[in-house]
Amino acid sequence: MTDNVLLQRFLNEFPEAFLKTLLGRQLAIYRESISQAFNDPPWARMDAFSVLPALRRARMESAFRDAAINCGLKVSDQMHFGQNCSCVHVRSGNMIVTEHFVAHSQDFVREARSRKQNAGANKWLSHYTDTRLLLQPPPSLSNKPIYLNLLHGGDFPTPRSNDLSIDGTTCFLQMAVPDAEENQYLPGCNWSAVEILSHYAEIKREDSEPQVEVKDNVLPRIKRSKEA
């Protein structure tokens, strides 16, 4: 269990295997993207650096879609407002997740009209993260859609790099809830995949603990009435 109601909702809605699969595949996807861009390509080295982000995006988005389908989650492919690329939406209950590559784990996703629209739907969630707004009962979490961003990234090679490998220790995978009004995430709502997986493990431990039945061995005392 966690005190964060939004994280708890995610734990309730999404199976552990969804994040676990993506975390296990992430580094391999990055290395495959680099290999495809640079190993015997029909383009020059500098062109490979231009192609790399597109290859990485296509491979990660495909893994994102496959992991969701294998977990029985709802998946839809949608086009961005500018019709320049597609976006995979993964849904469970009223939670909708999209995936994004960012340079650092705390970076906000690159601005796009469709992303602004998605984040705008989270306006009411400030009731759950700003204690000043708890003077009135917050809206029910089940009434409106909640948009989340799956953030991923790592230190990729640059045109100045001699080594085209990627250090796995620099990779990160996060789940964050975007703020509706600012280019930032809601306070306390940017969790690493490792942190989220630890909560799943905690839930498993709690479920596996035997329930101890406490017997009530206290016998009732019968008050006898005095004979006249």
Locate 202 and state its tokens. 């905690």
Does residue 78 lie within any of the structural domains? Answer: yes
Torsion of CA 1, 135, 139, 15, to 10 degrees: -10
Q: Is residue 222 part of a domain?
A: no
Domain count, the chain: 1
Say if 209 falls within a structural domain.
Answer: no
Q: C-alpha angle with apex 177: 176 to 180, nearest 5 degrees?
A: 140
- List the pLDDT tens digit at each of the 228 positions of the chain: 678 888 999 999 999 999 999 999 999 999 999 999 999 889 999 999 999 999 999 999 999 999 999 999 999 998 766 656 778 999 999 999 999 999 999 998 876 444 454 544 455 455 555 544 444 555 555 667 889 999 999 999 999 999 999 999 999 999 999 887 768 888 889 999 999 999 999 998 888 766 656 565 655 666 666 554
Check: CB of residue 125 under 8 Å from CB of residue 185. Answer: no
What is the 3 state secondary structure string of the chain? CCCCHHHHHHHHHCCHHHHHHHHHHHHHHHHHHHHHHHCCCCCCHHHHHHHHHHHHHHHHHHHHHHHHHHCCCEEEEEECCCCCCEEEEEEECCEEEEEEECCCCCCCCCCCHHHHHHHHCCHHHHHHCCHHHCCCCCCCCCCCCEEEEEEEECCCCCCCCCCCCCCHHHCEEEEEEECCCCCCEEEEEEEEHHHHHHHHHHHHHHHHCCCCCCCCCCCCCCCCCCCC
Domain membership flag for residue 35? yes
In a domain, 226, yes or no: no
Range of the domain at 20: 5-157+164-201
Looking at residue 179, its pLDDT comes to 83
- Residue 81: per-residue pLDDT: 61
**pLDDT recorded at residue 115:** 43
| 213 falls within a domain | no
* Domain annotation covers residue 225: no
Nearest-angstrom CA–CA distance, 116 and 184: 12
Question: Residue 109: what pLDDT?
Answer: 82
Q: Is residue 30 part of a domain?
A: yes
